[in-house]
Amino acid sequence: MSETQIASLDRLTQALADEMPEVNQIILARMESEVPLIPQLAGHLIAAGGKRLRPLITLAGAQLAMAQNNITVMPQAARYLAAAVEFIHNATLLHDDVIDKSDQRRGRQTANALWGNEASVLVGDFLFARAFELMVETDDIQVLQLLASASARITEGEVKQMTVQNAPDSSIDDYMSVITGKTAILFAAAAHAGGRTAQADTPLRDALHAYGLALGRAFQICDDALDYVSDAQKMGKNAGDDFYEGKITLPVIFAYQGGDADERAFFDRTLAQSDIQEGDLHHAIEIINRHQGIERALDMADEFVEQAIAALDIAPDGEMKQALIEAARFSARRPS
């Protein structure tokens, strides 16, 4: 095992400790509405927190560009953008929970469980619209262009995920295309657009884009792999959510590709035909472990971590760069 085990987001969070309160204030102010259900429902999700990883990456991109250009004050546009990115992310979470019929997120009941699917769909739309309002306030049409395209790609990734659902013979390419769309593109756009708000030059913008893309891929691969690690080994999320929903992720793809006729028949029954019985998750984990499915997925995540770190080579040295390197390592955390 590598040193990724002990990486955390603390360094990045600390490096941006002075900036995040203002971003959080923008987030709170912009979910207000004269229709009380909107801030109520949105607040349930957004105030519950999460790591605010996307706003952090956005501001970090801006700070690297500030270092490059000797800018000493964080541009207000970067803060708007950070809030917008968090809104886009939370809009997709609201819609995802409706689509996946989830009733738990971050250890609490989901908005759709509490207020119904209808409200979750509409408040997701509201957050998405508010995100665009915030981006308009950056007054930079290129930033808008980046995030509008990213938003379209996110939904393409999600639709693609739906179309390859229940197909355990999916390819690694299919999987990569899904997670690039649904997760990595937003990190890439956030870092890149963050850099733009402080006039990053083209090489730095490209570096930030590549960093976000690789970090996002590592993050999602790892998240998906941990879904097959038994609860005792980790905190929070329950094991097996993806299995029960028929979502095809790397551990399954590796196991299916290397599997014999019996093992494939098992995945065909459980994942393709959604005929899941008592003990099947346990058996799935056995087969996956037989083919080192989790280990190989986490190795791939590590490769993306290395790509993310390498992308920062040309970035100005300093605390922020080191914090981003540590954040990349955190994105491919191993079960303890």
* C-beta separation of 123 from 110 below 8 A: no
The reply on whether position 132 binds a second copy by CB under 8 A is: yes
Cα–Cα distance measured from residue 100 to residue 111, given in angstroms and rounded to the nearest whole number:
13
User: C-alpha angle 322/325/327, rounded to 5°?
Assistant: 110
Cα–Cα distance measured from residue 296 to residue 258, given in angstroms and rounded to the nearest whole number:
12
230: its two tokens: 């038994």
* The one segment of 51-59, 63-71, 143-151, 232-240 that binds a second copy by CB under 8 A: 143-151
Cα–Cα distance measured from residue 85 to residue 77, given in angstroms and rounded to the nearest whole number:
12
Cα–Cα distance measured from residue 131 to residue 35, given in angstroms and rounded to the nearest whole number:
18
Which DSSP category does 318 fall into? S
# binding residues, a second copy (CB under 8 A): 43
Among residues 222, 195, 198, which one has the least CA distance to residue 311? 195
Q: Identify the residue among 151, 180, 249, 331 touching a second copy (CB under 8 A).
A: 151
Q: Identify the residue among 6, 29, 48, 159 touching a second copy (CB under 8 A).
A: 159
What residues between 89 and 118 interact with a second copy by CB under 8 A?
91-92, 95, 98-99, 117-118
x-marked contacts with a second copy along 193-222 as a string, rule CB under 8 A: ------------------------------
Nearer to a second copy, 95 or 205 (CB): 95
What residues between 230 and 289 interact with a second copy by CB under 8 A?
none
Q: Identify the residue among 6, 29, 37, 314 touching a second copy (CB under 8 A).
A: 37
Nearer to a second copy, 8 or 155 (CB): 155
**Residues in CB range of 71: below 8 A, 6 or more apart:** 65, 198, 199
Residues that bind a second copy (CB under 8 A): 33-38, 91-92, 95, 98-99, 117-119, 121-126, 128-130, 132-133, 135-136, 139, 141, 144-145, 148-149, 151-152, 154-156, 158-160, 162-163
